[in-house]
Structure 1
Amino acid sequence: MLTNIIDYWQNLFNPQFRLSAIKVAFCVGTILFLINHGNALITENMTRQRWISAILTYFIPYGVNIHGQWTSQLKRQENL
């Protein structure tokens, strides 16, 4: 279990996965940002805490995409 967690953290910065994950994070993160913070942005009610939350909104799709690519790669290697 610990080995899987360490492998995942190392793959968060894997150049093989990075570009796709950044694209997904930008698209999905922007949609989530607009859903969660769009009104506050338009009405100029973005507090420091909201900005922190908004920035973190982009990390979730990035991490999920990396996880998907990584587990897919592991399954392909198991089938060889």
Structure 2
Amino acid sequence: MSSADSFSELCKIALSPAVVRRAARVAVVVGLVLAALNHGGVIMQGNVDPATALKIMLTFCVPYSVSTYSSVLAVRELTRSQRGGQVNS
């Protein structure tokens, strides 16, 4: 499998509805906790400027990305094991 095929396969998994839904749920739950911990004081004071708003939005990207990455690796490993291929840990 070429690297282009591998990248295409990874993107297909990452954009699959089940992975996107799971990552979105994780991002909402974990993102809310992180946003409250990291920016709660500013939010409660009502002093959210555009830079802080951007930081808060980016806070949700971290758990989304981690969940997506983990799901892609798990799906790829499961698919390879079902095909009888090598599974890397």
Structure 1 length-normalised TM = 0.83
Runs of at least 5 residues in structure 1 that lack an aligned partner in the other structure: none
Deviation of residue 13 (structure 1)? 2.7
Q: What corresponds to 2:27 in structure 1? A: 25
Deviation of residue 15 (structure 1)? 1.1
1:31 partner letter: V
1:24 partner letter: V
Structure 2 counterpart of 1:72, from 42, 66, 74:
74
**Equivalent residues of 1:29, 1:58 under 8 A apart:** yes
**Equivalent residues of 1:12, 1:63 under 8 A apart:** no
Identical columns (%): 20
Structure 2 counterpart of 1:56, from 55, 58, 76:
58
Count of residue correspondences: 80
Higher RCO (C-alpha 8 Å, min separation 6) = 1
Greater Rg over alpha carbons, structure: 2
